[in-house]
Structure 1
Amino acid sequence: MEWELYMFKRKNSYCYRGKSHTGLGYENALDFAMRGARVILACRSKSRADEARDKIVAKTGNQNVVVKLLDLQSFKSIRDFCEDINKNEESLDILVNNAGVAYLGEGKTEDGLLKVMQTNHFGPFLLTHLLIDKLKKSTPSRIVNVSSFLAKSADLKLDQINEYPKTSTVQAENMLYNNTKLCNLLFTIELAKKLEGTGVTVLAAHPGATTTELGRGLNKFILMAFDVLRTLYFWKPVEGAQCQIYCSVAKNLEIYHGEFFGNCKKIEMYEKAKDVVLGKALWRKSEEMTKLGENEKL
């Protein structure tokens, strides 16, 4: 990876990102702090977030790193978080929708949605809508949605989007995760259309196969085998984070509004994500499932 390619400082910037106490999120936050940015660690676990903040401050000397609680499995938490940001933060230059989970089973959130689907798609969909005015006022600004090559294997059916797949457990979990990653791409494309000409650039990033905590919900024997595979073949988090960092801070990416990046370069959007009818239908479904008010819709 060509680190020097984007190791420049975006001055007076405020950077927000999701799930920043481990893995890709931690590396994102660390990199932004190294550039002198104001960084908000938006996390569900305050203790782990505080620990991450202390490490980042110690490594960078940047004291302008703060922790705010955000639970994407709760629409109330999302609304409380966004109200805080909109009221108390001067600007919002970068929004990285990075938080992602898998292997959480059939459980549903307090809002009645599958935990994986709400964390990976519906939560970021609502959060982005509620922060969009702040992003518009901070232009030029960016939204980076973290997706995956696994979106290619998705089988998304909107009438079953909140139903746990009826198949073997591991296959069901994989199907559900893949569907959320396709949702990330469909969301990116539709959002880019709606923000055309506003000065807010929307990009999607694929981090590659990276060693993170994503599989922590797996059966312990499967997880042991998975850990061996990850150790041998997967990137480290600092390597996997480079693409989303690049999409966040590299210069002159506005021309790629609505595009998909992997390994710090534009890659071809997957065919399933190009389905205009599906993209528009998912948008309407997401508005419905997140209970967006008429004044909150784009």
Structure 2
Amino acid sequence: MVSAALSEALGEWLEQQRSLNGAAENTLSAYQTDVLGFLGFMTQHNGAAQGLGPVSRITVSDMRSWMAHERARGVAARSLARSLSAVKSFYRWLAEREGFEPTAVLTTRSPKFQKKLPRPLAVDAARAMIDTVEMQARAPWIALRDVAVVTLLYGCGLRISEALGLTGADVPLPETLRIRGKGGKERLVPVIPAARSAVSAYLRACPYPAEPEAPVFRGARGGPLYPKAIQSVMAQARMQLGLPATATPHALRHSFATHLLNAGGDLRSIQELLGHASLSTTQAYTAVDTARLMEVYDKAHPKAAGARSDP
């Protein structure tokens, strides 16, 4: 059980995450679940309902007990690290508001886990995917629709939710598209001619009008197109091409970033195109061999450039 005062505090913190930090609703829901799960454990562990007083007295031993409990019930290290991050964020905010010492919680180490690196497609595989997707649908306009979506994912680095979130007000596609991404953050994305052409071809064939407030991409019956449809058509195409299960819509976004970097793109610019807040996230999205990284380093780093100019 959680006291009314602590529950109110949690609500205020979540609202701050929404209004000031632009957290998405799914993120807020995950935060709430993680923090309430933590507080629920502390209630059972200490044998008393959690209020502002008991929470301020959580010890290092309490934290270790919670971590051990979570691992014992099968929570993966990655998931536990996410939960701990949410708990720390809430606790840091609460400690500042209530004036207590948060060290016991904030110094708790996150469990180690191996980060899963994304697996982009090779350039020829990405092109083959677009060609093969077109052959999956019986209705010509649906085939053109699927090609348009997949071309946007690979050609512009969009998330599938961003591509499917386009409305009639966004078409015809301009040379630069304003995208609202995660957390409501906006970014400008250049739209390559192939993507504009694919979307135009789809719109000419689509039996449903591109109304300003309606989604650009429609399902077979005219409703909004859902990610599952694109995931399904790509699954069919990758089976025909002999590609691994990692060849998903999101892999095309990874491919966009990796292929740009391999072609000489700047990592900071790619970060902006993808809408990443952290450069480390962009680095994880780009799979490039060590030789290529050293080549970029040698050309760009001032020390490396200086060494070449020395007699």
The structure with the largest alpha-carbon Rg is: 2
Shorter-chain TM range is: under 0.3
TM-score normalised by the chain length of structure 2: 0.22
Q: Which has the higher helix share?
A: 2
TM-score normalised by the chain length of structure 1: 0.23
Q: Which has the higher strand share?
A: 1
